[in-house]
Amino acid sequence: MNTMISNPSKGLTGTFRVPGDKSISHRSVMLGSLAEGVTEVSGFLEAEDALATLKTFQSMGVKIERPATGCLRVHGVGLHGLKQPCEDLYVGNSGTSMRLLSGILAGQNFDSVLTGDASLTKRPMRRVLDPLALMGAKVESTEKGTSPLKISGGAPLAGIEYKMPMGSAQVKSCLLLAGLYAEGTTTVIEPAVTRDHTEQMLRGFGYPVTTDGDTVSIQGGGTLQATTIDVPADISSAAFFLVAGCITPNSDITLQHVGINPTRTGVIDILLQMGGKISLLNKRIVGGEKVADIRVQSSQLKGIAVPDELVALAIDEFPVIFVAAAYADGQTVVTGAEELRVKESDRIQTMADGLLSLGVDAEATPDGMIINGGKVAGGEIESFDDHRIAMAFAVAGLQAEGAITINNCENVSTSFPSFVTLAAGCGFELSAK
């Protein structure tokens, strides 16, 4: 899929389930591989990023069966049972794979190399390499602190106390996973709450993790025990439909079995503050994770100053939140989101430039954006191979004054390969070629 063309819609309806949570899918393979016994996974995200993680562990000798779509049977080899891969470990566009794997590989007794695609090789890796070095890991990067990463095996790791300079679940997770192999206790102190899927899943595999406010600690030397995991639908993927339902008149859609982990629901809280008609139905706990069916109806959104405490809880959803702001009455201000500049693209500048080209009053700032809502014109958008940018502008086309054409959409397959099909099925006037 090279191009998506989004035309105005007369309304969205339906009840459906978006694909499985990408963060949980990654971690289910990682921890399942390192556990003792066979881990059964359902709801696994069959998309390029999560499959990249799966393939890396297969390359290290882990048997992973795929009996049906979205179902895995991971034959764990234990914390010390991985084997040296015959070639470099290629993780495509997945920053999660590279950063979390660097922590796991730092504790192995063999050398390894992590590589990715052209986009991933531009993303900063020193944020994990520096604290790993403090633990005793031997990892080399380019002079710019980017991949490929060359990890020397056999380096003894020691637990550290690390105060993160920025809120990042990937950095936290990397260090906790390295902490499995470290002597003593590894403690991570967060400046802001970030998603806690790693901590929750470690506990699900029987490994104790201590959480005290902004501090997370793990003791090395334990074991992981195989378990059963039902991956909920990904709230990051659901976010496109949450905004779509809010901004499109005559809309009433329900998204089934969506993960509502409190560290991931920033997008819901932001849309509610903007006046979104969103209801959480049938709340329940599945495999230790909170899930619910989410109903969203046409809404009259208003601009807000997004509270700082919600920024880290919605960092991946901001491209489509910016679209919501473009259709809201009044001004929306986002600050404290500088992390957006080092994603698959510079999501602040890319979204600001795209919105400006569609006639929206949008001003990029160093750590966010100021958007004065109003009309959105049709036009042509460059997504810069960023899946969330592409899908966000597909949502923008729902009520634009003309068609929006989005170029370079191939990377939608990294997180949401069924996006066009599901969107068209609920009322998007969306085509791809």
Residues with a catalytic annotation lie at 316
Smallest CA-to-CA distance from 244 within 391, 380, 347 is with 391
- Contact present, 396 and 323 (Cβ < 8 Å): yes
In eight-state DSSP terms, residue 300 is -
Strands 112-115 and 89-90: parallel
Q: What is the DSSP letter of 19?
A: P
The answer to whether 250 and 426 have CB atoms below 8 angstroms apart is no
Q: What angle do CA 301, 304, 309 make, to 5 degrees?
A: 120
Residues forming beta bridges with residue 228, ordered by sequence position: 40
Q: How far is CA 340 from CA 115, 116, 190, in A?
A: 22, 20, 18
In degrees, rounded to 5, the angle at the alpha carbon of residue 87 between the alpha carbons of residues 76 and 71 is 35
Alpha helices in 248-364 (DSSP H): 266-273, 308-311, 318-327, 347-357
Give the residue among 404, 417, 326 at the shortest CA–CA distance from 370. Answer: 326
- Asked if residue 5 lies in contact with residue 420, where contact means CB atoms within 8 angstroms, the answer is no
CB 258 within 8 A of CB 291: yes
Which of 378, 385, 383 is closest to 429 using CA atoms? 378
Contact 148, 114 (CB under 8 A): yes
